[in-house]
Structure 1
Amino acid sequence: MQDIRQETLNECTRAEQSARVELWEIDLTEVGGERYFFCNEQNEKGEPVTWQGRQYQAYPIQGSGFELNGRGCAARPTLTVSNLHGMVTGMAEDLQSLVGGTVVRRKVYARFLDAVNFVNGNSDADPEQEVISRWRIEQCSELSAVSASFVLATPTETDGAVFPGRIMLANTCMWTYRSDECGYTGRAVADEFDKPTTDIRKDKCSKCMRGCELRNNTGNFGGFLSINKLSQ
């Protein structure tokens, strides 16, 4: 999860916020296309919005359904873009409806935009004040002469990533001691209570991280220590 900069958080709570600008990057390089940078508006000079030195061309584009939801299925936002001059139609025909392309959504308060966007410059310009989310194009849900809509999914839903097919315990190792997964093949060290022993018959693992530490084998610990944080 991205850490939001304190200055951006402060801007969120101001009584009079500057306008929030949405910047869109559509990266089709993985499906044989190019990268496009769009914004639904221009800067105060009537020119393309510039962010981090890159221009985002003014083009009708709108996203919806990005609200966070802690229950039920993951969000399926929709990105709708103009099909001016059949531009999207041509790309959809050549690039398998753009499925697999990446969409990057950047939210930036106008106060932090590059100085070049303003007639009198901008002393508050800060290229680090952005909130980013990344999505994959899952399907083209609508394509007409006027516009095209695409359903988006989080990258982890489309890259084949899965949880391990076994029980996930934070502090307990699931491996059989001295198995291939365990990887330890050294001398006797300790019994199941982590008490030192040199007797190979009493040498057993406590199934805890301490057991791995005693054997200098922490890299093969079969538990999931990080899931403890989920309950905090």
Structure 2
Amino acid sequence: MSTIAAELAKLSPSARIDLYVIDLTPLNGPLIRLHAGLNKLMQPVVWQGEQYVGFPIQAEGFDVRADGTQPRPTITASNLYGSLNAAVREYNKLIGARLIRKRTRARFLDAVNFAGGVNADADPTAALADDVWVFDRIGNRDKFRISWELANPLDQPGRVVPARQCRNTVCTWEYRSADCGYAGLPVAKADDTPTSNPTEDRCSLLVSGCKLRFGADALLPIGIFPGVGLLREV
């Protein structure tokens, strides 16, 4: 069982941490990292080495619906003193930008979030898979708050599924990318032999390489399609 799964299985897991990355790169803009609070030191939360600024922000409506229709989450952020107006004006009201929701638990946050910079449970891999959405439509907007409706990236006009090559054995993710999700210590070379040298750390892009990094019994974030090639004409 993975670390995050074991934590979620507890009767009293540590506090849930939701972190938001507003990815403006599709609009030739920057990445904006936000969290609706501060750490115990009253400083911005740091996760996987990245700082998330404390900012009044709320997102809801991510639950999968039983009828199979795609959810349309909403995100609402403070606009006090026009704090978001500049980004809204410069980047097309954020329409077309991505929202990446990262989820972990407080006990796994980077050590810098704790007194003395010590946290024996710090684990950058202890997280649920990133949740990725697209800013689809701007909602209410006034001097106090501003909201958007989000859409599934696949729920866009003109999108074709799948939008990438399908392989049944070789992972298509770039190692240590946001899709891959691994951000831990060096593990193995490209042939799956062990190494602690960062310059030699390469993923084999096979299931075996993924298991070495996430655990043999973990839910692997590997970018393969096991069913491809299993269907044959008769």
Per the alignment, in what secondary structure is the counterpart of residue 56 of structure 1? Answer: strand
1:18 is matched with which residue: 11, 14, 19?
14
Q: Is the 8 A contact 1:115 1:125 kept in 2?
A: yes
Q: Name the structure 2 match of 1:93.
A: 89
Q: Name the structure 2 match of 1:128.
A: 125
* CA RMSD after TM alignment: 2.1
Displacement of 1:75 in angstroms is 0.4
Runs of 4+ in 1 over 2 A off after TM superposition: 158-164, 225-229
Deviations 1:54-91 (A, max 9, x none): 11000001100011224142000001111132122232
Per the alignment, in what secondary structure is the counterpart of residue 23 of structure 1? Answer: strand
Deviations 1:194-223 (A, max 9, x none): xxxxxxxxxxxxxxxxxxxxxxxxxxxxxx
Q: Is the 8 A contact 1:7 1:129 kept in 2?
A: yes
**Structure 1 residue 115 corresponds to structure 2 residue 76:** no
Q: Unmatched 5+ residue regions in structure 1?
A: 165-224
Q: Is the 8 A contact 1:37 1:55 kept in 2?
A: yes
Q: Is the 8 A contact 1:140 1:151 kept in 2?
A: yes
Q: Name the structure 1 match of 2:141.
A: 143
Displacement of 1:158 in angstroms is 2.4
Q: Distance in 2 between matches of 1:135 and 1:99?
A: 11
* Letter paired with 1:19: A
Displacement of 1:124 in angstroms is 0.7
More helix by share: 1
Q: Name the structure 1 match of 2:100.
A: 104
Displacement of 1:227 in angstroms is 9.9
Q: Name the structure 1 match of 2:38.
A: 42
Displacement of 1:9 in angstroms is 1.0
Q: How does the TM-score come out when normalised to structure 2? A: 0.66
Closer/same/farther in 2, CA of residues 79 and 123 from structure 1, 3 Å limit: same
State, as a whole percentage, how many aligned pairs show the same letter: 35
| Rg comparison, structure with higher value | 1
Q: Distance in 2 between matches of 1:71 and 1:227?
A: 30
Per the alignment, in what secondary structure is the counterpart of residue 93 of structure 2? Answer: helix
Q: Distance in 2 between matches of 1:160 and 1:138?
A: 14
**Number of matched pairs:** 165
Q: Unmatched 5+ residue regions in structure 2?
A: 163-226
